[in-house]
Amino acid sequence: MRDALGATLGDIGLTAVSPQRQPPPERSKLEPLQMLVEADMRRVNQLIVARLDSPISLIPELAGHLVAAGGKRVRPMLTLIAAQLCGYCGQRHIRLAAAVEFIHTATLLHDDVVDQSELRRGLATANAIWGNKPSVLVGDFLFARAFQLMVEDGSLEVLGILATASAVIAEGEVAQLMTANDAETTEATYLRVVSAKTATLFAAAAQIGGVVAERSPADAESLRDYGENLGIAFQLIDDVLDYSAREVVLGKSLGDDFRDGKITLPVVLAFARGSAEERRFWQRTLEQVEQRDGDFADAIELLQRHGALADSLTRAAHYGAAARRALESFPPSEPKQALLDLVDFCVERAY
């Protein structure tokens, strides 16, 4: 079973950039980055396969289900390309990129349990197949593997960055739980959750690429700023896509956030701008999750009426511009252009 799993996971980095696979047009801006890190990602994937191994067969089976489901793998690629940008020629970034991916995968397993999600990227979630308890415990296993990789790296600075990021992500998860299904959530509160839950790992992934290259603290901080702003833009675009995208772009069913009663930025804006009757609609559909046929179409109409989707895009573009500015101190290079293209990819997915 583990041999089959290894073969599946070992292909992940290759299929993402394989010339035989025709990607949708929306991914074109991602291709330069994928090509630059292709060899490194192959090694990262090999390391992931090796570290998923366990005599407890459920661990590689369950974790492999989520990892093999694919995804953009932007976070580990950030570590790899940031190291390239800073001229790093060693091997440490491979281990740390794998650690970043383990942290991300662990949070996904825990997220799906908390959200009671049944689908991710069009496939059944691990908790839907194996149940909540195994998903939580395997998520813990992946966190442990991530910290083993950090310790093997030997840098207290890197360990501090990723350990702090893990704590902040957990805080973001709790903060999100406290505001779940609360239609009166403010924009400021929502953005704090996004910054903690999503942007923190983007920021750490980029920052450690500069740290392993022994660049100045200012350069590493610039990479952190880039990652943080990119992460916020990435999430805000996902918020918009749930109400407007083709499913091939989104990687999940259209309207999943609405059906799950999730409060995202477009909803926050529409609720704040809506009438008393409209607010009752959001409270019924998202707080009480009492949804009827036609409610999703009505939700889209309200979001459009109040400019909530357009304004969410504007905010995402603002954070994208901030990410681009964070790289201004770095000279022109292929890795820098790939990072700039990544910003465009994240924002332009909505168009």
Which of 231, 228, 310, 312 is CA-nearest to residue 264?
Answer: 312
- Across 104-153, the runs of DSSP E, i.e. the strands, are 119-120, 123-124
Q: What is the pLDDT of residue 122?
A: 65
pTM comes to: 0.87
Kindly tell me if the per-residue pLDDT of 197 is higher than 90: yes
175 or 207, greater pLDDT: 207
Q: Band the pLDDT of 143: cuts 50, 70, 90.
A: very high
- Across the chain, the runs of DSSP E, i.e. the strands, are 119-120, 123-124
Query: d(Cα 249, Cα 148) in Å, to the nearest integer?
Result: 34
3-state DSSP assignment of residue 9: helix
Query: d(Cα 288, Cα 223) in Å, to the nearest integer?
Result: 41
pLDDT, tens digit, for every residue of 88-134?
Answer: 999 999 999 999 999 999 998 888 888 777 766 667 777 878 888 98
